[in-house]
Amino acid sequence: MSASAGVALGFETRALETHALAPDAVAVRVITLRPRFEDGRSAPRPSLLLPLEPRLGPPTEPPAAVSFTRDEGRVRARVEFAPGSSFYGTGEVPGPLERSGRSVTLWNTDTFQYGAENDPLYQSHPYVLAVRADGSALGILADSIRRGTITIAQCDAGQAVELAFDAGAGEWAEPFDLYLIEGSHPAEVTRALGALVGRIALPPLWALGYQQCRWSYLSAEELRALALEFRRRGIPCDGLWLDIDYMERFQVFTVDPATFPDLAGLGDELRALGFHTVAILDPGVAVDSELAREGLARGLFVLDEGGQPATGKVWPGACHFPDFTSAAVRAWWSEHVRAFVAETRVDGLWNDMNEPSLMDSPTKTLPESCRHAGTGLVGSSGSGGDHARWHNLYGQLMAEASRAGLVRAHPDKRPFLLTRSNHLSGARFAATWTGDNRATWEHLRWSLSMALNLGLSGQPFSGPDVGGFSDNPDRELFARWFELACLLPFFRGHAEKGSRRKEPWAFDAETEARVRAAIERRMKLLPTLYTLFREASESGAPVVRPLFFADPADPALRTLDDAFLLGDDLLVAPAVHERAHERSVVFPKTPGGWYPFPAGGLPITERERVVPAPLGTLPLFARAGAILFEHDPRPSTATPPKLLVVHVFCDESGRAAGRLYEDEGEGHAHAQGVYRDARFTATASESEVVIVEHTTGTFDSPVLERLLLVHVGGKTLLAPRRLAESYRVPRP
Give the separation between CA 181 and CA 193, rounded to whole angstroms: 8
Q: Which residues are catalytic?
A: 352, 355, 436
DSSP strand E in 251-347: where?
A: 276-281, 285-286, 312-314, 317-320
CB 90 within 8 A of CB 119: no
The SS3 call for residue 330 is helix
Question: Cα–Cα distances in Å, from 27 out to 190, 305, 395?
Answer: 12, 49, 33
One-letter amino acid at 61 equals E
Give the separation between CA 603 and CA 649, rounded to whole angstroms: 9
CB 451 within 8 A of CB 437: no
10 Å CB burial of residue 302 (0-12, 13-18, 19+) is buried
CB 195 within 8 A of CB 183: no
Q: Which of 398, 376, 375, 372 lies closest to 386, judged by CA? A: 372
Q: Which of 51, 41, 58 lies closest to 427, judged by CA? A: 51
Residues in the chain: 732
Q: What is the CA angle 503-355-314, rounded to 5?
A: 75
Q: Which of 3, 10, 56 lies closest to 32, judged by CA? A: 56
Give the separation between CA 712 and CA 717, rounded to whole angstroms: 8
Q: Which residues contact 184 (CB under 8 A, 6 or more apart)?
A: 27, 135, 136, 137
One-letter amino acid at 87 equals F
Give the separation between CA 157 and CA 199, rounded to whole angstroms: 35
